[in-house]
Amino acid sequence: LKSKYHTILFRRRNSNNQLIGHFPPQGLTAFSTLFEVITRFGKLHESIIGAVAAAVVEGMTYIKKEHDIIHRDIKPSNILCSTQGDIKLCDFGVSGQLVNSIVQSFVGTRSYMSPERIIADHQYGVSSDIWSLGLSLMELGYGTHPFPRLKPDEIEELMRLPEGTPAPQRAVHVDFIDILADRVENDAPKLSSEFFGPDCCEFIDACLRKEPDNRPSLDSLSNFNFVKHYGETITVQTIATYVKKSLNGE
């Protein structure tokens, strides 16, 4: 799959399906993960988040439709961006082939897992990746992982940080019991409408609906205004500028 932002290669080895990243001649050294970008540069502008959403949705759609595979570990550290403005979904080490759109194994990074994945022995499908995408985009917007839950005053403090200022270090609890309690007992996290536009909030909040059947289908994600607008208008040069700034500590 080759597009404005995203490239994925698929191959078979020893009768097993494998996904591999396809990289340009300059190799991996030209790439940073989005986790590295926000760690160095701080929160991303809403327009960049929209371009990331468009690229990841495109990749998710390709591996699902063409190869019946879901990623199962979508998070900022598994989304690469280059100094040329490319965005690529990577690290398919826990990807799983779908069987009637359902998988039952328990792998991936817990703090990005959907409620249905956290519940032991609960079946899940591609909608679990949609949840992880929503949480990842929220993290890019705040500049820090939104778990433990951010309080309104903490969000305000983060959003008032100047561009290029990393968020203060914040302990992220990855204890399984804490995550289980959060996903099961609490309402779904919602993006702050005070600091983000309605299209951005609509998309991320839809991805983070607790019930998987209530989340948008994979096919419908690309039709959201947030994805369509920024996927079409944000140039690779703009993305490249963000990556270069983060690498240079500007």
CATH code, domain carrying 212: 1.10.510.10
Q: Which of 73, 91, 175, 182 is catalytic?
A: 73
Q: Is 73 a catalytic residue?
A: yes
Q: Indicate if the pLDDT at residue 213 is higher than 50.
A: yes
Question: Where residue 10 falls among pLDDT bands split at 50, 70, 90?
Answer: very low
Closest CA to 76 of 21, 137, 29, 30: 137
pLDDT given for residue 78 in this prediction: 87
Residues 6+ apart with CB under 8 A from 176: 110, 118
Mean pLDDT calculated for residue range 81-104 = 61
pLDDT at 184: 77
Cα(177)–Cα(118) distance, integer angstroms:
10
pLDDT band at 177 (very low <50, low <70, confident <90, very high): confident
Which burial class, exposed, middle or buried, applies to 115 when counting CB atoms under 10 A from its CB (0-12, 13-18, 19+)? buried
Scanning the structure block, which residue is given the tokens 């990556």?
A: 243
- Residue 97, C-beta contacts closer than 8 angstroms, at least 6 positions apart: 17, 67, 68, 69, 103
Q: Are 198 and 224 in contact (CB under 8 A)?
A: no
Q: How many domains does the chain fold into?
A: 1
- Which domain covers residue 81, as residue numbers? 8-248
Q: Does residue 190 sit within a domain?
A: yes
> Residue range 154-177: average pLDDT?
83
pLDDT in tens, 96-134: 443 344 344 343 477 888 888 877 656 678 889 999 999
Residue pair 246/32 in contact (Cβ under 8 Å)? The answer is yes
> Does the residue 30 lie in any domain?
yes
**pLDDT tier for residue 11 given thresholds of 50, 70 and 90:** very low
Least-confidence region, from 8-12, 74-78, 143-147, 232-236:
8-12
pLDDT at 242 (0 to 100): 81
162 within some domain:
yes
pLDDT of residue 30: 67
Name the token pair of 201.
């909030």
196 token code pair:
């983000």
Please state, rounded to an integer, the average pLDDT across all residues of the chain: 79
Radius of gyration of the chain from its Cα atoms, rounded to whole angstroms: 17
Does residue 158 fall inside a structural domain? yes
**How many separate helices (H) and strands (E) can be counted in the chain?**
10, 7
The answer to which of 2-6, 9-13, 157-161, 174-178 has the lowest mean pLDDT is 9-13
> Which pLDDT value is given to residue 139?
95
Is 75 within a domain? Answer: yes
Among 26-35, 134-143, 184-193, the range scoring the smallest mean pLDDT is 26-35
Cis peptide before 148 (omega within 30 of 0): yes
The pLDDT score that the predictor gives to residue 131 is 95
Split at pLDDT 50, 70, 90, the class of 249 is low
2 lies in some domain: no
Whether 3 maps to a domain, the answer reads no
Cα angle 146, 72, 158; round to 5: 15
Report the pLDDT averaged over residues 128-150: 93
Give the tens place of pLDDT for each residue, 218-248: 999 999 999 999 999 999 899 988 888 877 7
Going from the C-alpha of 154 to that of each of 55, 75, 82, 175, 216, the distances in angstroms are 29, 22, 30, 22, 29
C-alpha angle with apex 78: 25 to 214, nearest 5 degrees?
Answer: 135
Percentage of the residues of the chain whose pLDDT score is greater than 90: 39
Residue 38: its pLDDT value, please?
92
What ranges in the chain are assigned the alpha helix state H? 34-41, 46-67, 115-118, 127-142, 152-159, 176-185, 198-207, 218-221, 225-233, 236-248
